[in-house]
Amino acid sequence: MENKRFEITETAGSVKGFYVVVDKETGVNYLVAKFGAGAGICPKCQNRSRRHPPAGI
């Protein structure tokens, strides 16, 4: 069964290895960096006025 929860929405133009991934269940966007055998993931801050994530996340 294919997992449809996450979707790659953007890649960073000429810079290969950077992707924006959206979690369709929670609506959180993540910046993913993948180079060779290494990778990193970080949530993107969308609203600086909110200090805590919404309840249930």
Q: Where are the domains of the chain?
A: 6-43
Q: Along the 57 residues of the chain, how does pLDDT read in single tens digits?
A: 577 888 988 776 656 788 888 888 888 889 888 888 888 988 887 655 555 555 555
Model pTM score: 0.62
pLDDT score for 18: 85
Per-residue burial over 9-32, b if 16 or more Cβ lie within 10 Å, else e, is eeeeeeeeeebebbeeeeeeeeeb
pLDDT at 8: 86
The per-residue pLDDT for 34 is 86
C-alpha 20/C-alpha 32 separation (Å) is: 6
User: Which strand (E) or helix (H) includes residue 22?
Assistant: strand 18-23
The whole-number pLDDT of residue 15 equals 65
